[in-house]
Chains A and B, each alone.
Chain A
Amino acid sequence: MGTPRGLSPISSEELSNQLPDAVGARVLRALRGEKDAEEWVAHRAYTAGLRLATFALGDQSLAQDVAQEVAIRALGGLPKLRSPDRFDAWTYRISAREIKRAAKNRQRQESREDDLDVVKVGHGHSFSESLEERDWLTRALAELSERQRLVLGFRYVFGLDDEEIGRAIGARRGTVRSLASRGIASLRRRAEGEGESAAVAAEEKTQRNRVEAI
Protein backbone atom coordinates (compact mmCIF):
# COMPACT_ATOMS: atom_id res chain seq x y z
CA MET A 1 0.00 0.00 0.00
CA GLY A 2 2.96 2.28 -0.44
CA THR A 3 2.59 5.64 -2.08
CA PRO A 4 5.11 8.27 -3.11
CA ARG A 5 6.07 10.50 -0.24
CA GLY A 6 4.11 13.72 -0.03
CA LEU A 7 1.02 12.46 -1.82
CA SER A 8 -1.91 14.56 -0.72
CA PRO A 9 -4.66 12.65 1.09
CA ILE A 10 -7.66 12.15 -1.15
CA SER A 11 -10.82 14.10 -0.52
CA SER A 12 -13.95 12.57 0.93
CA GLU A 13 -15.62 12.85 -2.48
CA GLU A 14 -12.83 10.90 -4.14
CA LEU A 15 -12.99 8.27 -1.46
CA SER A 16 -16.75 8.09 -1.56
CA ASN A 17 -16.56 7.55 -5.31
CA GLN A 18 -14.24 4.62 -4.71
CA LEU A 19 -16.68 2.99 -2.36
CA PRO A 20 -18.97 0.42 -3.97
CA ASP A 21 -22.23 2.04 -5.09
CA ALA A 22 -21.77 4.82 -2.58
CA VAL A 23 -23.40 7.48 -4.73
CA GLY A 24 -25.82 5.40 -6.80
CA ALA A 25 -27.13 3.46 -3.81
CA ARG A 26 -27.82 6.60 -1.82
CA VAL A 27 -29.56 8.22 -4.77
CA LEU A 28 -31.80 5.16 -5.10
CA ARG A 29 -32.58 5.32 -1.40
CA ALA A 30 -33.44 9.00 -1.77
CA LEU A 31 -35.77 8.11 -4.63
CA ARG A 32 -37.53 5.69 -2.28
CA GLY A 33 -38.11 8.64 0.03
CA GLU A 34 -35.62 7.73 2.78
CA LYS A 35 -35.04 10.96 4.66
CA ASP A 36 -31.35 10.50 5.48
CA ALA A 37 -30.57 9.72 1.84
CA GLU A 38 -32.56 12.73 0.66
CA GLU A 39 -30.56 14.91 3.01
CA TRP A 40 -27.34 13.36 1.73
CA VAL A 41 -28.34 14.04 -1.88
CA ALA A 42 -29.21 17.65 -1.04
CA HIS A 43 -25.92 18.05 0.84
CA ARG A 44 -23.87 16.69 -2.05
CA ALA A 45 -25.63 18.83 -4.65
CA TYR A 46 -25.44 21.91 -2.42
CA THR A 47 -21.71 21.36 -1.85
CA ALA A 48 -21.00 21.02 -5.58
CA GLY A 49 -23.02 24.15 -6.35
CA LEU A 50 -21.42 26.11 -3.53
CA ARG A 51 -17.88 25.29 -4.59
CA LEU A 52 -18.30 25.92 -8.29
CA ALA A 53 -20.27 29.12 -7.72
CA THR A 54 -17.71 30.44 -5.25
CA PHE A 55 -15.00 29.96 -7.85
CA ALA A 56 -16.99 31.25 -10.83
CA LEU A 57 -18.89 34.11 -9.21
CA GLY A 58 -16.41 35.22 -6.54
CA ASP A 59 -19.25 36.14 -4.23
CA GLN A 60 -20.02 34.06 -1.17
CA SER A 61 -23.63 35.05 -0.62
CA LEU A 62 -24.52 34.70 -4.29
CA ALA A 63 -22.79 31.30 -4.27
CA GLN A 64 -25.01 30.23 -1.36
CA ASP A 65 -28.12 31.25 -3.29
CA VAL A 66 -26.92 29.26 -6.30
CA ALA A 67 -26.10 26.25 -4.13
CA GLN A 68 -29.55 26.34 -2.56
CA GLU A 69 -31.13 26.34 -6.01
CA VAL A 70 -28.86 23.49 -7.18
CA ALA A 71 -29.85 21.37 -4.17
CA ILE A 72 -33.55 22.10 -4.72
CA ARG A 73 -33.37 21.27 -8.42
CA ALA A 74 -31.33 18.12 -7.81
CA LEU A 75 -33.67 16.82 -5.16
CA GLY A 76 -36.81 17.86 -7.01
CA GLY A 77 -35.62 16.46 -10.34
CA LEU A 78 -34.29 13.17 -8.96
CA PRO A 79 -37.05 11.04 -10.53
CA LYS A 80 -35.90 12.29 -13.95
CA LEU A 81 -32.32 11.11 -13.40
CA ARG A 82 -31.89 8.04 -15.62
CA SER A 83 -28.69 6.70 -14.15
CA PRO A 84 -28.22 7.23 -10.37
CA ASP A 85 -24.48 6.53 -10.74
CA ARG A 86 -24.18 9.69 -12.81
CA PHE A 87 -25.61 11.89 -10.09
CA ASP A 88 -22.44 13.97 -9.74
CA ALA A 89 -22.19 14.73 -13.47
CA TRP A 90 -25.84 15.69 -13.42
CA THR A 91 -25.40 18.10 -10.47
CA TYR A 92 -22.41 19.65 -12.27
CA ARG A 93 -24.68 20.41 -15.22
CA ILE A 94 -27.32 21.90 -12.93
CA SER A 95 -24.63 23.97 -11.17
CA ALA A 96 -23.28 25.33 -14.47
CA ARG A 97 -26.79 26.29 -15.57
CA GLU A 98 -27.63 28.00 -12.28
CA ILE A 99 -24.34 29.90 -12.26
CA LYS A 100 -24.99 31.23 -15.75
CA ARG A 101 -28.45 32.31 -14.69
CA ALA A 102 -27.13 34.02 -11.53
CA ALA A 103 -24.39 35.80 -13.49
CA LYS A 104 -26.91 37.09 -16.00
CA ASN A 105 -29.21 38.36 -13.24
CA ARG A 106 -26.31 40.08 -11.54
CA GLN A 107 -25.27 41.77 -14.77
CA ARG A 108 -28.82 42.91 -15.41
CA GLN A 109 -29.12 44.30 -11.90
CA GLU A 110 -25.80 46.12 -12.10
CA SER A 111 -26.64 47.74 -15.43
CA ARG A 112 -30.01 48.81 -14.01
CA GLU A 113 -28.21 50.39 -11.05
CA ASP A 114 -25.85 52.22 -13.43
CA ASP A 115 -28.79 53.57 -15.42
CA LEU A 116 -30.52 54.85 -12.33
CA ASP A 117 -27.29 56.17 -10.81
CA VAL A 118 -28.19 54.36 -7.60
CA VAL A 119 -26.61 55.65 -4.42
CA LYS A 120 -25.87 52.71 -2.20
CA VAL A 121 -26.06 53.04 1.53
CA GLY A 122 -25.04 50.84 4.43
CA HIS A 123 -23.07 47.69 3.67
CA GLY A 124 -24.44 47.12 0.19
CA HIS A 125 -21.73 46.63 -2.44
CA SER A 126 -22.04 45.76 -6.08
CA PHE A 127 -19.94 42.86 -7.36
CA SER A 128 -17.45 45.12 -9.13
CA GLU A 129 -17.05 47.35 -6.08
CA SER A 130 -16.46 44.52 -3.71
CA LEU A 131 -13.94 43.02 -6.12
CA GLU A 132 -11.70 46.04 -5.70
CA GLU A 133 -11.15 44.96 -2.12
CA ARG A 134 -10.41 41.40 -3.04
CA ASP A 135 -7.32 39.58 -4.14
CA TRP A 136 -5.71 39.65 -7.54
CA LEU A 137 -7.00 36.29 -8.70
CA THR A 138 -10.65 36.98 -7.87
CA ARG A 139 -10.47 40.26 -9.78
CA ALA A 140 -8.68 38.64 -12.70
CA LEU A 141 -11.22 35.78 -12.86
CA ALA A 142 -14.03 38.33 -13.01
CA GLU A 143 -12.58 39.56 -16.32
CA LEU A 144 -12.99 36.13 -17.94
CA SER A 145 -16.13 34.94 -19.70
CA GLU A 146 -18.64 32.90 -17.72
CA ARG A 147 -17.75 29.76 -19.67
CA GLN A 148 -14.03 30.22 -19.10
CA ARG A 149 -14.62 30.58 -15.36
CA LEU A 150 -16.80 27.46 -15.33
CA VAL A 151 -14.20 25.42 -17.20
CA LEU A 152 -11.42 26.54 -14.85
CA GLY A 153 -13.67 25.90 -11.84
CA PHE A 154 -14.44 22.36 -12.94
CA ARG A 155 -10.76 21.74 -13.61
CA TYR A 156 -9.24 23.25 -10.48
CA VAL A 157 -11.97 22.71 -7.88
CA PHE A 158 -13.28 19.28 -8.95
CA GLY A 159 -10.30 18.00 -10.93
CA LEU A 160 -12.47 17.01 -13.92
CA ASP A 161 -10.88 16.24 -17.28
CA ASP A 162 -11.85 18.03 -20.51
CA GLU A 163 -14.36 15.40 -21.53
CA GLU A 164 -16.17 15.48 -18.18
CA ILE A 165 -16.20 19.28 -18.27
CA GLY A 166 -17.59 19.16 -21.80
CA ARG A 167 -20.49 17.02 -20.60
CA ALA A 168 -21.15 19.43 -17.73
CA ILE A 169 -21.29 22.59 -19.84
CA GLY A 170 -22.54 21.03 -23.08
CA ALA A 171 -19.42 21.62 -25.17
CA ARG A 172 -16.98 19.55 -27.22
CA ARG A 173 -13.63 18.56 -25.75
CA GLY A 174 -11.78 20.87 -28.14
CA THR A 175 -13.93 23.81 -27.07
CA VAL A 176 -13.23 23.06 -23.41
CA ARG A 177 -9.48 22.90 -24.08
CA SER A 178 -9.60 26.19 -25.95
CA LEU A 179 -11.71 27.91 -23.25
CA ALA A 180 -9.24 26.78 -20.58
CA SER A 181 -6.11 27.78 -22.46
CA ARG A 182 -7.52 31.17 -23.47
CA GLY A 183 -8.66 31.78 -19.91
CA ILE A 184 -5.25 30.95 -18.49
CA ALA A 185 -3.51 33.02 -21.18
CA SER A 186 -5.71 35.98 -20.32
CA LEU A 187 -4.89 35.60 -16.63
CA ARG A 188 -1.18 35.45 -17.50
CA ARG A 189 -1.40 38.60 -19.63
CA ARG A 190 -3.11 40.38 -16.79
CA ALA A 191 -0.43 39.18 -14.37
CA GLU A 192 2.29 40.46 -16.73
CA GLY A 193 0.51 43.82 -17.05
CA GLU A 194 0.16 44.17 -13.29
CA GLY A 195 3.80 43.20 -12.86
CA GLU A 196 4.86 45.91 -15.32
CA SER A 197 2.65 48.55 -13.69
CA ALA A 198 4.08 47.64 -10.30
CA ALA A 199 7.63 47.91 -11.70
CA VAL A 200 6.88 51.32 -13.28
CA ALA A 201 5.33 52.55 -10.04
CA ALA A 202 8.36 51.36 -8.08
CA GLU A 203 10.74 53.07 -10.55
CA GLU A 204 8.79 56.35 -10.35
CA LYS A 205 8.90 56.20 -6.56
CA THR A 206 12.68 55.66 -6.63
CA GLN A 207 13.09 58.64 -9.01
CA ARG A 208 10.98 60.84 -6.72
CA ASN A 209 13.01 59.84 -3.70
CA ARG A 210 16.23 60.68 -5.58
CA VAL A 211 14.93 64.12 -6.57
CA GLU A 212 13.85 64.80 -2.98
CA ALA A 213 17.28 63.74 -1.72
CA ILE A 214 19.02 66.16 -4.16
Chain B
Amino acid sequence: MDPASVENALRERGQTIARMYPNLSEVQAAVARTEGRRHPRGGRRGFATLATGLVCLLLGAAAATAATGVLDPALDAFFGGGDAPGEALPETRVPTWLQPAPGFNAPDEVSLLASAGSEHLYAYRQSGSICFGYGGHVGECRSPGEWSRELERDRWILRPVGKAEALWFGLVNTEFASVRVEYTEGAPEEVAVTNGGFVAAIDWARGPQRLIGLDASGQGVASRSLVAASP
Protein backbone atom coordinates (compact mmCIF):
# COMPACT_ATOMS: atom_id res chain seq x y z
CA MET B 1 0.00 0.00 0.00
CA ASP B 2 1.17 3.52 -0.79
CA PRO B 3 2.09 5.23 2.52
CA ALA B 4 0.38 8.41 1.36
CA SER B 5 -2.92 6.62 1.13
CA VAL B 6 -2.87 5.39 4.74
CA GLU B 7 -5.06 8.25 5.90
CA ASN B 8 -7.43 7.71 2.98
CA ALA B 9 -7.71 4.06 3.94
CA LEU B 10 -8.43 5.01 7.55
CA ARG B 11 -11.04 7.50 6.44
CA GLU B 12 -12.67 4.95 4.17
CA ARG B 13 -12.65 2.31 6.92
CA GLY B 14 -14.17 4.82 9.34
CA GLN B 15 -16.94 5.71 6.90
CA THR B 16 -17.75 2.06 6.26
CA ILE B 17 -17.93 1.29 9.97
CA ALA B 18 -20.01 4.42 10.60
CA ARG B 19 -22.73 2.82 8.48
CA MET B 20 -22.95 -0.27 10.70
CA TYR B 21 -26.14 -0.73 12.68
CA PRO B 22 -27.10 -3.44 15.15
CA ASN B 23 -29.96 -5.88 14.74
CA LEU B 24 -33.08 -5.09 16.72
CA SER B 25 -32.83 -8.42 18.53
CA GLU B 26 -29.33 -7.59 19.82
CA VAL B 27 -30.54 -4.32 21.31
CA GLN B 28 -33.65 -5.94 22.74
CA ALA B 29 -31.47 -8.54 24.42
CA ALA B 30 -29.45 -5.75 26.06
CA VAL B 31 -32.63 -4.00 27.22
CA ALA B 32 -33.98 -7.23 28.62
CA ARG B 33 -30.73 -7.97 30.47
CA THR B 34 -30.88 -4.64 32.32
CA GLU B 35 -34.55 -4.81 33.20
CA GLY B 36 -33.99 -6.33 36.64
CA ARG B 37 -31.25 -3.84 37.50
CA ARG B 38 -33.19 -0.73 36.49
CA HIS B 39 -36.51 -1.67 38.07
CA PRO B 40 -35.45 -3.54 41.18
CA ARG B 41 -38.79 -3.33 43.01
CA GLY B 42 -40.06 -6.38 41.18
CA GLY B 43 -37.23 -8.39 42.72
CA ARG B 44 -34.99 -11.01 41.19
CA ARG B 45 -37.81 -13.54 41.07
CA GLY B 46 -39.68 -11.57 38.48
CA PHE B 47 -36.64 -10.76 36.32
CA ALA B 48 -36.95 -13.65 33.87
CA THR B 49 -40.68 -13.08 33.44
CA LEU B 50 -40.21 -9.35 32.95
CA ALA B 51 -37.37 -9.78 30.47
CA THR B 52 -39.24 -12.40 28.48
CA GLY B 53 -42.38 -10.29 28.63
CA LEU B 54 -40.57 -7.22 27.32
CA VAL B 55 -39.01 -9.10 24.43
CA CYS B 56 -42.36 -10.68 23.55
CA LEU B 57 -44.06 -7.30 23.81
CA LEU B 58 -41.52 -5.65 21.49
CA LEU B 59 -41.59 -8.50 19.01
CA GLY B 60 -45.36 -8.66 19.24
CA ALA B 61 -45.70 -4.94 18.61
CA ALA B 62 -43.41 -5.16 15.58
CA ALA B 63 -45.39 -8.09 14.23
CA ALA B 64 -48.70 -6.35 14.87
CA THR B 65 -47.72 -3.14 13.10
CA ALA B 66 -46.33 -5.11 10.18
CA ALA B 67 -49.54 -7.09 9.98
CA THR B 68 -51.77 -4.02 10.01
CA GLY B 69 -49.63 -2.38 7.33
CA VAL B 70 -49.37 1.09 8.90
CA LEU B 71 -46.38 1.94 6.75
CA ASP B 72 -47.14 3.72 3.51
CA PRO B 73 -47.11 0.92 0.89
CA ALA B 74 -44.71 2.88 -1.36
CA LEU B 75 -42.28 3.48 1.53
CA ASP B 76 -42.69 -0.10 2.71
CA ALA B 77 -41.77 -1.38 -0.77
CA PHE B 78 -38.79 1.02 -0.87
CA PHE B 79 -37.54 -0.20 2.51
CA GLY B 80 -37.96 -3.76 1.27
CA GLY B 81 -35.66 -3.21 -1.71
CA GLY B 82 -38.12 -1.80 -4.26
CA ASP B 83 -37.95 1.44 -6.23
CA ALA B 84 -37.88 4.77 -4.44
CA PRO B 85 -41.44 6.15 -4.15
CA GLY B 86 -42.64 9.31 -5.87
CA GLU B 87 -41.45 10.80 -9.11
CA ALA B 88 -38.16 9.31 -10.36
CA LEU B 89 -35.93 12.25 -11.30
CA PRO B 90 -33.96 12.28 -14.55
CA GLU B 91 -30.25 13.09 -14.12
CA THR B 92 -30.81 16.67 -15.20
CA ARG B 93 -33.19 17.30 -12.29
CA VAL B 94 -31.14 15.64 -9.57
CA PRO B 95 -29.87 18.38 -7.21
CA THR B 96 -26.16 19.10 -7.56
CA TRP B 97 -25.33 17.96 -4.01
CA LEU B 98 -26.65 14.50 -4.88
CA GLN B 99 -24.87 14.23 -8.20
CA PRO B 100 -21.75 12.06 -8.57
CA ALA B 101 -18.56 13.82 -7.45
CA PRO B 102 -15.00 12.55 -7.00
CA GLY B 103 -14.50 10.84 -3.67
CA PHE B 104 -18.18 10.69 -2.77
CA ASN B 105 -20.75 7.98 -3.23
CA ALA B 106 -23.61 8.94 -5.50
CA PRO B 107 -27.18 7.74 -4.96
CA ASP B 108 -28.36 4.88 -7.17
CA GLU B 109 -31.59 6.74 -7.95
CA VAL B 110 -33.28 9.88 -6.70
CA SER B 111 -37.01 10.47 -6.52
CA LEU B 112 -39.20 13.31 -5.40
CA LEU B 113 -41.58 12.51 -2.54
CA ALA B 114 -43.08 15.86 -1.67
CA SER B 115 -42.52 19.58 -2.24
CA ALA B 116 -43.32 23.01 -0.84
CA GLY B 117 -42.52 25.64 -3.45
CA SER B 118 -38.90 25.16 -4.42
CA GLU B 119 -38.10 22.97 -1.42
CA HIS B 120 -38.22 19.22 -1.94
CA LEU B 121 -38.16 16.00 0.02
CA TYR B 122 -36.09 13.43 -1.87
CA ALA B 123 -35.78 9.67 -1.44
CA TYR B 124 -32.75 7.73 -2.61
CA ARG B 125 -30.71 4.63 -1.96
CA GLN B 126 -26.98 4.93 -1.34
CA SER B 127 -24.48 2.18 -0.54
CA GLY B 128 -27.31 -0.09 0.57
CA SER B 129 -28.84 2.47 2.92
CA ILE B 130 -32.23 4.16 2.60
CA CYS B 131 -31.78 7.92 2.46
CA PHE B 132 -33.96 11.00 2.48
CA GLY B 133 -32.79 14.40 1.32
CA TYR B 134 -34.24 17.48 2.99
CA GLY B 135 -34.17 20.57 0.84
CA GLY B 136 -30.93 21.80 -0.63
CA HIS B 137 -28.18 20.30 1.49
CA VAL B 138 -29.11 17.79 4.14
CA GLY B 139 -29.37 14.05 3.66
CA GLU B 140 -29.94 11.28 6.17
CA CYS B 141 -29.10 7.64 5.55
CA ARG B 142 -30.12 4.73 7.74
CA SER B 143 -30.92 1.05 7.43
CA PRO B 144 -34.42 0.12 6.18
CA GLY B 145 -35.14 -1.50 9.57
CA GLU B 146 -34.36 1.69 11.45
CA TRP B 147 -36.66 3.79 9.29
CA SER B 148 -39.56 1.37 9.49
CA ARG B 149 -39.18 0.83 13.24
CA GLU B 150 -39.21 4.55 13.92
CA LEU B 151 -42.23 5.10 11.70
CA GLU B 152 -44.10 2.22 13.30
CA ARG B 153 -43.29 3.49 16.75
CA ASP B 154 -43.65 7.27 16.37
CA ARG B 155 -46.12 7.33 13.41
CA TRP B 156 -44.32 10.33 11.94
CA ILE B 157 -40.69 11.36 11.64
CA LEU B 158 -40.14 15.12 11.68
CA ARG B 159 -37.02 16.90 10.51
CA PRO B 160 -36.89 20.65 11.00
CA VAL B 161 -34.19 21.95 8.68
CA GLY B 162 -32.89 25.26 7.47
CA LYS B 163 -32.30 28.67 8.89
CA ALA B 164 -34.36 28.99 12.07
CA GLU B 165 -35.98 25.69 11.09
CA ALA B 166 -38.25 27.31 8.57
CA LEU B 167 -38.95 24.01 6.85
CA TRP B 168 -40.31 20.88 8.42
CA PHE B 169 -39.84 17.72 6.42
CA GLY B 170 -41.83 14.68 7.45
CA LEU B 171 -42.31 11.00 6.78
CA VAL B 172 -45.62 9.59 7.93
CA ASN B 173 -47.55 6.31 8.12
CA THR B 174 -50.82 5.59 6.36
CA GLU B 175 -52.99 7.30 8.99
CA PHE B 176 -51.92 10.73 7.74
CA ALA B 177 -53.58 12.42 4.77
CA SER B 178 -52.40 15.99 5.37
CA VAL B 179 -50.57 18.21 7.84
CA ARG B 180 -51.81 21.52 9.20
CA VAL B 181 -49.71 24.40 10.54
CA GLU B 182 -51.65 26.49 13.07
CA TYR B 183 -50.71 30.12 13.74
CA THR B 184 -51.69 32.70 16.32
CA GLU B 185 -52.26 35.15 13.47
CA GLY B 186 -54.22 34.31 10.36
CA ALA B 187 -55.62 31.11 8.96
CA PRO B 188 -53.94 27.75 9.33
CA GLU B 189 -52.16 26.26 6.35
CA GLU B 190 -52.52 22.73 5.20
CA VAL B 191 -50.13 20.65 3.12
CA ALA B 192 -50.95 17.31 1.56
CA VAL B 193 -49.07 14.12 2.31
CA THR B 194 -47.71 12.62 -0.88
CA ASN B 195 -45.92 9.26 -1.15
CA GLY B 196 -45.70 9.05 2.64
CA GLY B 197 -44.00 12.42 3.04
CA PHE B 198 -44.61 16.15 3.29
CA VAL B 199 -42.82 19.49 3.40
CA ALA B 200 -44.26 22.31 5.50
CA ALA B 201 -42.90 25.85 5.26
CA ILE B 202 -43.29 27.75 8.54
CA ASP B 203 -43.99 31.47 8.60
CA TRP B 204 -42.39 32.55 11.88
CA ALA B 205 -43.77 36.09 11.56
CA ARG B 206 -47.29 34.75 12.18
CA GLY B 207 -46.50 32.94 15.44
CA PRO B 208 -46.71 29.25 14.56
CA GLN B 209 -48.30 27.17 17.34
CA ARG B 210 -48.67 23.56 16.28
CA LEU B 211 -48.03 21.10 13.52
CA ILE B 212 -51.00 18.75 13.35
CA GLY B 213 -51.19 15.52 11.39
CA LEU B 214 -54.69 14.88 10.02
CA ASP B 215 -56.32 11.71 8.76
CA ALA B 216 -58.54 11.53 5.65
CA SER B 217 -61.59 12.71 7.63
CA GLY B 218 -59.74 15.77 8.96
CA GLN B 219 -59.31 14.37 12.48
CA GLY B 220 -56.01 15.07 14.22
CA VAL B 221 -53.87 11.96 14.65
CA ALA B 222 -50.65 13.56 15.95
CA SER B 223 -49.44 16.98 16.93
CA ARG B 224 -46.18 18.74 17.69
CA SER B 225 -45.71 22.10 19.33
CA LEU B 226 -43.85 24.69 17.30
CA VAL B 227 -43.63 27.21 20.10
CA ALA B 228 -40.42 25.82 21.57
CA ALA B 229 -38.83 25.70 18.12
CA SER B 230 -39.47 29.39 17.54
CA PRO B 231 -36.26 31.30 16.62
List of A residues within 8 angstroms of B29 by Cβ: 68
Complex contact A1–B136 (CB within 8 A): yes
> Across the interface, do B2 and A195 meet the contact criterion of CB distance under 8 Å?
yes
List B contacts of A184 (CB < 8 A): 6-7, 10
Q: Is the CB of B137 within 8 A of A47?
A: no
Does B184 interact with chain A (Cβ within 8 Å)? no
- The closest CB in chain A to the CB of B28 belongs to A39
Q: Which of A58-76 contact B (CB under 8 A)?
A: 64, 67-68, 71-72, 75-76
- Flag whether B160 is at the interface (Cβ < 8 A): yes
How many angstroms between the C-alpha atoms of A93 and B51 in the bound complex? 27
Q: A1-B135, A5-B101, A191-B3 are in contact. Are A46 and B27 (CB under 8 A)?
A: yes
Q: With contacts A47-B21, A67-B22 known, is A9 near B103, CB below 8 A?
A: no
Q: Which of B33-41, B68-76, B211-219 contacts A (4 or more CB under 8 A)?
A: B33-41
Contact A46 B30 (CB under 8 A): yes
Q: Is A121 an interface residue (CB 8 A)?
A: no
CB–CB A39/B138 < 8 A: no
The SS class assigned to the A binding surface is helix
Across the interface, which residues of B come within 8 angstroms of A158, CB to CB?
A: 18
Interface string of B155-176 (1 = CB under 8 A from A): 0000110110000000000000
Residues of B within 8 Å of A33, CB to CB, are 38-39
Contact mask A27-40 → B, CB, 8 Å, 1/0? 00000010110110
* Chain B: minimal CB distance from A200 (Å): 16
B153 interface residue, CB < 8 Å from A? yes
Residues of B within 8 A of A76 (CB): 34, 37-38
For B20, give its contact among A39, A54, A71 (CB under 8 Å): A54
- Among A11-19, A83-91, A165-173, A203-211, the one that faces the other chain is A11-19
A5 touching B6 by the CB < 8 A rule?
no
Q: Is A122 an interface residue (CB 8 A)?
A: no
Q: Is B63 an interface residue (CB 8 A)?
A: no
User: Which B residues lie at the A interface, using CB under 8 A?
Assistant: 1-3, 5-7, 9-11, 13-15, 17-18, 20-22, 26-31, 33-34, 37-39, 54, 58, 96-99, 101-105, 126, 131, 133, 135-142, 146, 153-154, 159-160, 162-163, 228-229
Return the 7 tightest CB-CB contacts between A and B, nearest first: A9-B139, A6-B101, A156-B14, A1-B136, A71-B30, A3-B137, A188-B3
